[in-house]
Structure 1
Amino acid sequence: MRQLPASCYRLQLRGGMDFEAATGVLPYLGGLGISHLYLSPVFAAQPGSSHGYDVIDPTAIDPELGGREGFGRLAAAARAHEIGIVLDIVPNHMAFTLDNPWLRDLLANGDASRYRAHFDIAPDRRLMLPMLQAPFEEVLRDGGIAVEMDEAGAVLVHGPLRVPLDARTLPETLPRPDDHAAIRALHDRQFWRLCHWRAERDAITHRRFFSISGLIGMRIEDRAVFEDTHRLIFDLCDSGAVDGLRVDHVDGLADPGEYLARLRDRLPETPVWVEKIIAPGESLPDWPIAGTTGYVLARDLAQVLTSESGARRIDDFYRRVTDRRAAFGEVVERAKRMMLETELAAELWRLQAMVAKAAAVDPVASEYGPETWRRAIIGLITHLDRYRTYLGGGAVRPEDEAALREAASAAAAQDGGRRALDFIVDRLLDVEADADLPRRFQQVSGAVMAKGQEDTAFYRHNALISANEVGAEPSMPAIDAARFHAQMQARARDMPHGLSLTSSHDTKRSEDARARIIALSHHPDAAEALFDAASDVSGAGRVDPNLRWYLAQSLWAMLPGGEGSEALETRLCDHATKAMREAKDGTTWQDPDAEYEGTVLDYARALVPAFDPPPAETDPAARTAARLSLAQLALKLTVPGIPDIYQGCEIGNYRLTDPDNRAPVDFARLAAALEDAGTLASGADRQKFDLTRGLLMLRRDDPALFRDGDYRPDDDAPGGTVGFRRVFGDRALRVLVAAPAPLDARALDPREGEARIWPPPDAAISDAAAAIFLRR
């Protein structure tokens, strides 16, 4: 196995950050103590892509970033600075666009295409292209469709769309623009069918990434597809340019375990981390990986820093002022059901057809009609307590069977239909039956959970939104120190080399914005004052109290960012638009309500000056938040796992979900801080920078202590603190964290044989959130 990272620094490419710019950041990262650069996808993506997950050619490095030569120069420079590279790869999907050469080949050649088996497409229907603003027949009737020749052959043209036509289907003479019958007949002979974009909900014929029709699923389970899509990845790893891989959305794959085994067989020395959200009570299958990307650790850190009593009080207040009485689990169930019946209706239809086909040969199940199967599928997926199970490829894990049986029982208790539910579960668990049904069911259940919980319920249930985080559980926002220690001991045993993140391109809030909201749990009076102040703003009465409270928390989280009011207003309004449409309660992405949104945005604009300054009652919470940020950082960099520093988070970062979290980072300013931390504007930034750098340097200098060291709770830690030791041989690191009050001065005294490394000897210690001691 190649050397594991001591730490990673996530750099988001694009938006001005290409390979040349990334090369310029390397000296700074080396000075910060980073061992590995962690890059977002580098493969050729949709022109103008802002993120790189919409790959159009996995065999090429994106020329917009600098191409293969540019990446080679970056890799060589990284090696010169003794920095490795971890690369984000996207095996689950590609961009569903005419810029995708593999897709164009499929459209032009149909079943004869070399890439027919590469894409996950319904085998018995034409490939739907939901790219029109109206039904095909209407566009044709209005003269909007023509047939032309270009350098590659004949194409069907509609505005900028130029869709390849199968040469085998062409008449001797191309149809005239006004010969609608001939154009229609030619269109009907294609492997594909152009249609209205609204048809994507229930007529789409390709597997999507969640409900995004612009991303098409890949059949990575096919060995040839695996080899074609990973050829460049293998080359980069074999050449030494890439030292580790992060697998995006592993739950979308047909058989994640089989995929990861193939990856390990081909790259036995390359560590692999998977993006996997682990539900409470769920355990990972025995996969050949270094670990996950770290959402669970982010949840653990937020929970141990949150006041349970304060969170309960805020929850009671929230329900009183918003009249939202449903438990979070109920909100999720309703959202999952809605997603299956609307945005993922095509996936539901396909599952229903598969179940009905299996039932047709069963003497009892064959009596049930389509509505019975539809309700049973919805109930089972709605009540499943995790993203997916891992059936296929052998014996059924007891955990997976239990999860499905429990979901069936919950669905039956709510809506009846026990026999139908049991039939579906039995078919899913039958290792001798056709594997297509469990494969598709598991891919759909993950998409439903992601869209129902992360992208809907997290914007509907807004009691304390620091708990509305990827991988978190809003119904359990807090844990005590004893449970935290138990979870860290399990992490040291089961996933000692997993990544440890607190911010990423996918988190709903950056770490310091989250800490600001967590601080409200320690000061529930401040939370109530914040809501009251938000309710006094002009236009508040026209905005639902639930959304009003969401926006108040969001703005409070953003406030230390240092922007002017105009920039803050723009950011809040952009986020408010996204939050409203994700909640799907009054407006949606598909059908935006301009009047509804305009009312909310007017209120959001008025909220910004009203919170300048914020209510005086929130001042204690602001001071607590600053300590929580440092406490969170100290834990992240010392508990079992490999720290993942998201770009710009070595100082205070008060960003919300994407695209807000992809803002450019002033690396020149950060590099200057290596020589003089006084170049940073605030004392909080300097403290966070110094603590980050100090612990990263320690991890780089003594990797065994953190990679292999035991995790031992410190039984002598003062009450109200979280204390533990990392022990390896005769070396030990002792960590003590307090929340919300600062550490007592006596807690800062080293024990015999120890040296205090934080706070530094010359630092003021009256407000210390963490103390760290080293014994060598």
Structure 2
Amino acid sequence: MDTRASTYRLQLGPGRTFADAASLVDYLHRLGADALYVSPILAAAPGSEHGYDVVDPARVSPVLGGEEGRSALVARLRTLGLGIVVDIVPNHMSVAVPAANPWWWDVLREGPNSPYARCFDIDWTRGLIPLPVLPDDGDGGDAAAAALAGLTVVDDCLSCGDQRYPLAPGTYAPGDDPAEVHQRQHYRLVPWRSGAADLPYRRFFDISGLAAVRVEDPDVFTAAHAEVLRWAERDEVDGLRVDHVDGLSDPGGYLRRLRDSYAGWIVVEKILAPGETPPASWPVAGTTGYDALREVCGLFIDPEGERPLTDLAETLGVPTDTGAVEAECRRAAATALLRPEVRRIAALVDDHDDGAAGEPETEAVADGEDTTRLSRTEQAVAELLSHFPGYRSYLPEGEADWTAAVARAHRTRPDLSSLLDRIDGRVRADPRGELARRVQQTSGTVVAKGTEDTAFYRTTRFIALNEVGGDPDRFGVSLAEFHDAAARREASWPRAMTTLSTHDTKRSEDVRARLAALTEIPAEFAAAVRDWTERCGIGEPSLNLLAWQTLVGAWPISAARLRDYLLKAAREAKLRTSWLEPDTDFEKEVRSWPERVLSDASLADDVAALVARIREAGWSNALGQKLVQLTAPGVPDLYQGTELWDLSLVDPDNRRPVDFATRMVILERLESGWLPPIDAAGAVKLHVVRQALLLRRDRPMRGYRPLAPTGAAAAHAVAFARGPAFDVVTIATRLPLRLADSGGWRGTAVPLPSGPGVWSDLLTGRGIAPERTDGFTTARLAEVLNPYPVALLVRRTADTVEPRRP
């Protein structure tokens, strides 16, 4: 399996095509990247900005430049020795525009007799396929009825507004009433809101326009991967990133089939709970690295800040019992957003268990302004789905997680014990059966929608913790925990990807780095937030606290960017408004807040002053976490543009165009020997990135040895050694504000691995003269960490062959 030393992630789309990517290859090579890692490149839905809504797996995206553009990009990469890693989406396809998806079009035209009917996860026992596309504005159906009254037949297609739908053979003759023609089809156009609550096909999360694909079927797998595997046969793809592996019916089976067809590097997009690892049976290099993100970023968070920030949240009315909020949000996701999936699972239970009919009838469950009746079986399924420790279990090897979920569901709903026992018994009796598979693949969706996309926007005590793969209850990561995790990764998953920023992260690594500095001055920040809230607060407490943290973390930020972010956050939280039930009055308040704050000169000056107080500490944290990630075990990924300071927020903000021209100019100066200052330009981060990536590309980075600093400020440094002879040492500063307040390094030193040769710092070019202390060779941090808060030491001998730099 080909494993690259590092990857550089590019988000392709209408604004960045294959040709644009090819123009960056020389820059990426000189930066030190070893492979280009691109977002999905198969044909996507019309207007797609990201490529995850594939419509035709047999065709390269024409918007990106088609097969010709892809081939040219690969050829350009090969000329400089770079690899290419491609993101693939096996779980679902876009069906939002039926005419764009030839598989879905044929299913709508032919129904269950279509050769593509087996490709989608459709419950054909339910009959017709409802398509939730009609207006649904709470008018009692008038808008939907009007839309149906306006149906026409154009070019042998049923036309509704700007959408077209296929006609089954023999269902239309010239002069037929379009409404009657509609009734003869294998589908029904229904209101988008009410119709989405009763779909017979499995979706991606709760998105009706993304239909699940049955890649567990060998023939479907072959059809869905034919183009990707064609690239592999021609040695035109070095790695695959598998999107949303937890949504698959049988992740392990899928990955084994993929491995049988592809010998290259495979990583899976999977969020791991703290301490969790991918199933050992999976033939993959590891995950895409959200676990590393939590561990690395956590190093720079001061645990002493937890109590004051908790007190701040509580006094503002923000919930701090994250477990309770998570449980509530997961249950809401299961009973409302994912009701069709829960109903389908419950039907499997009821169809096979006569005893279910004897259960009490139904219970009312709030769903926005409507009230939906859930059967007792549905309640039991929803409760079980809400209590998995991680995203899902993988039976039979993941039995412990399954057992934990069942036990938790029993504790919270003892009145459902008989049904829970029934589900548990059937799943254990057939852990590879349909009931077991559907419960497991749906649990991950419940966690994602309930925890990541809802609870993380409600429990906003300290938002740097509320990250993909994060745990808001774990306030920072100790040195011991970090070293243990890094050593385990080196021993068990050395080729797993690591990351700090992705297209999925809630906020960029540099925003989190600056926010981490707030944990060193929590009382000062708390006082400021209380004052600012009195002067210009938002009426919903969780959003209010999130807004002030976001303003500080992303400062300077335009009113427009902040407005769009806060509006999305408010809708995701689903407290005062939501995507399905927007509250126009509250959203008006949210929309106006950024301009009100930024136009208040006194308030804006106060925010700017606090940012100035922590800006340099944020830079120190950003450089520290970046160097640690780039040199620690695993294959580091660099997200587009983050080689300079990047203060992006959640998508689509993090998909904004990147100014590569400026980066190229800075790179040229660095190649001439320039040592940049630590300032707002961010050239120093590009310098650290370049030196670390070039080193990784030039030498093997095997092994891992924690180095324990000694001295009064030992807790303020993290250090470790890499390489076969432990001849590479990474050192980074932690908690810089407290370090400065305590008097600096005060003789603190790091022991260096013994061996022949001379040490030098790649970041300054300066030789290091170690001292002998208590029989060990040590480097004094006051000297090594100057002028930068990080150091990348390399030991060279007379036999060392210096790499040729680009």
Q: Which TM-score applies when normalising by structure 1?
A: 0.91
Matches within 5 A, 1:227-246: 227-246=222-241
Matches within 5 A, 1:162-173: 162-170=164-172, 172-173=173-174
How many pairs were matched up? 741
Correspondence 1:346 to 2:340: yes
Aligned twin of 1:756: 760
Aligned twin of 1:664: 657
Distance 2:134 2:319 in 1: 42
Correspondence 1:331 to 2:325: yes
Give, in angstroms, the shift of residue 669 of structure 1. 1.1
Aligned twin of 1:720: 715
Aligned twin of 2:627: 634
Equivalent in 786, 789, 793 of residue 773 of structure 1: 793
Aligned twin of 1:520: 518
Give the AA of the match of 1:557: G
Give, in angstroms, the shift of residue 731 of structure 1. 4.5
Correspondence 1:600 to 2:582: no
Distance 1:527 1:156, change over 3 A: same
Give the AA of the match of 1:725: F
Give, in angstroms, the shift of residue 32 of structure 1. 0.3
Give the AA of the match of 1:773: L
Cα RMSD between the aligned structures?
2.3
Aligned twin of 1:582: 572
Distance 1:142 1:242 in 2: 46
Q: Which moved more, 1:302-311 or 1:580-589?
A: 302-311
Equivalent in 474, 482, 486 of residue 476 of structure 1: 474
Distance 1:745 1:635, change over 3 A: farther
Q: Which moved more, 1:722-731 or 1:217-226?
A: 722-731
Q: Give the SS at the match of 2:158.
A: strand
Correspondence 1:191 to 2:186: yes
Equivalent in 390, 399, 402 of residue 401 of structure 1: 399
Aligned twin of 2:645: 652
Aligned twin of 2:258: 263
Distance 1:503 1:455 in 2: 17
Give the AA of the match of 1:342: A
Give, in angstroms, the shift of residue 487 of structure 1. 1.0
Distance 1:585 1:225 in 2: 41
Aligned twin of 1:387: 391
Q: Deviations over 1:289-322 (max 9, x none)?
A: 1111000000101222211121232112211222
Give the AA of the match of 1:277: I
Distance 1:326 1:525, change over 3 A: closer
Distance 1:662 1:91 in 2: 23
Distance 1:354 1:41 in 2: 34
Matches within 5 A, 1:310-321: 310-321=305-316
Give, in angstroms, the shift of residue 757 of structure 1. 1.7
Give the AA of the match of 1:572: L
Correspondence 1:508 to 2:506: yes
Distance 1:69 1:235 in 2: 14
Give, in angstroms, the shift of residue 613 of structure 1. 5.4
Correspondence 1:368 to 2:359: yes
Q: Give the SS at the match of 1:342.
A: helix
Give the AA of the match of 1:51: H
Q: Which moved more, 1:729-738 or 1:209-218?
A: 729-738
Give, in angstroms, the shift of residue 367 of structure 1. 3.1
Distance 1:529 1:45 in 2: 49
Correspondence 1:569 to 2:563: no
Q: Which moved more, 1:215-224 or 1:520-529?
A: 520-529
Aligned twin of 1:498: 496
Distance 1:65 1:615, change over 3 A: closer
Matches within 5 A, 1:212-223: 212-223=207-218
Give, in angstroms, the shift of residue 766 of structure 1. 4.7
Give, in angstroms, the shift of residue 544 of structure 1. 2.3
8 A contact 1:516–1:557 mirrored in 2 = yes
Percent pairwise identity: 36
Give, in angstroms, the shift of residue 430 of structure 1. 1.7
Q: Deviations over 1:428-456 (max 9, x none)?
A: 22227x71111111121111110001110
Q: Give the SS at the match of 2:25.
A: helix
Q: Which moved more, 1:612-621 or 1:46-55?
A: 612-621
8 A contact 2:703–2:724 mirrored in 1 = no
Aligned twin of 2:411: 413
Give the AA of the match of 2:394: Y
Distance 1:680 1:160, change over 3 A: farther
Give, in angstroms, the shift of residue 189 of structure 1. 2.9
Q: Which moved more, 1:514-523 or 1:650-659?
A: 514-523
8 A contact 1:759–1:765 mirrored in 2 = no
Aligned twin of 1:454: 452
Aligned twin of 1:544: 540
Give the AA of the match of 1:697: L
Q: Deviations over 1:58-104 (max 9, x none)?
A: 11111111100011111100101211100000111000121211111
Distance 2:254 2:57 in 1: 17
Give the AA of the match of 2:130: M
Give, in angstroms, the shift of residue 758 of structure 1. 4.9
Give the AA of the match of 2:62: P
Distance 1:291 1:631 in 2: 24
Distance 2:229 2:253 in 1: 17
Q: Which TM-score applies when normalising by structure 2?
A: 0.88
Correspondence 1:70 to 2:64: no
Q: Which moved more, 1:420-429 or 1:37-46?
A: 420-429
Aligned twin of 1:676: 669
Aligned twin of 1:108: 109
Q: Deviations over 1:496-532 (max 9, x none)?
A: 1111100000000110011111111111023214413
Aligned twin of 1:39: 38
Equivalent in 145, 149, 162 of residue 144 of structure 1: 149
Distance 2:680 2:154 in 1: 65
Distance 2:358 2:148 in 1: 48
8 A contact 1:200–1:346 mirrored in 2 = no
Q: Which moved more, 1:749-758 or 1:278-287?
A: 749-758
Equivalent in 682, 687, 690 of residue 685 of structure 1: 682
8 A contact 1:745–1:766 mirrored in 2 = no
Give the AA of the match of 1:28: Y
Correspondence 1:295 to 2:290: yes
Aligned twin of 1:180: none
Distance 1:587 1:749 in 2: 52
Distance 1:237 1:710 in 2: 30
Distance 1:37 1:138, change over 3 A: closer
Q: Give the SS at the match of 2:229.
A: helix
Give, in angstroms, the shift of residue 717 of structure 1. 4.8
Distance 1:736 1:143, change over 3 A: closer
Distance 1:728 1:691, change over 3 A: closer
Q: Deviations over 1:672-727 (max 9, x none)?
A: 1111157999456121111110011111110x2x2xx2111113455214444334
Distance 1:138 1:602 in 2: 31
* Stretches of structure 2 lacking an aligned partner (at least 5 in a row): 362-374, 767-782, 797-806
Distance 2:18 2:393 in 1: 39
Q: Give the SS at the match of 2:344.
A: helix
Q: Which moved more, 1:377-386 or 1:711-720?
A: 711-720
